[in-house]
Amino acid sequence: MSLGWHAHDIPARLATGAYILHAGLGKWHGSEEQAKGLHGMAAGAYPFLSDVPPEKFMRMLAAGEILTGALLLVPVPSRLAGLALTIFSGALLTMYLRTPSLHQPGSFWPTQAGTAVSKDIWMLGIGFGFLVGHRAPAKQA
């Protein structure tokens, strides 16, 4: 019987999960200023978020980070944790790409302001790795 994860998954799951969980817990009790800053950046990339109050948006973001971090830290199948991580990091990278001030014109490479968000590409790679990394061996005839 397989648990859906392997020992070699543990370092990436611990490091990534702890990082994301910590970020979410920090936002859960964040300031009004922090909420406005996060909301402004997100609403610029995702206009439908403009109608969500900044404090509510920050709580929703915090909840998503807490859930994603927890899924990486508890013994659920790596594909499930990888799916959550891929969705979460994909949304962050989409925001990065939709915000011109975060990357150099015509390029994926970050500006000084975009470095903090561009590094989230490693989370996307880890998430994809968990999604595709554990295939059952083909049965031999």
- The predicted structure's pLDDT at residue 1: 45
What is the pTM assigned to this prediction?
A: 0.86
In whole angstroms, what is the distance from residue 91 CA to residue 123 CA? 11
Contact predicate 73/85, CB 8 Å: no
Spell out the domain ranges in the chain.
Answer: 7-132
Question: Do 124 and 94 touch, CB atoms closer than 8 A?
Answer: no
Name which of 24-38, 48-62, 113-127 the model is least confident about.
113-127
Share of the chain above pLDDT 90, in %: 79
d(CA 30, CA 60): 12
**In the prediction, which pLDDT does 42 show?**
94
Summarize pLDDT for 63-85 with one digit per residue, the tens. Answer: 999 999 999 999 999 999 999 99
Q: What is the pLDDT of residues 110-121, one digit of tens each?
A: 999 899 888 889
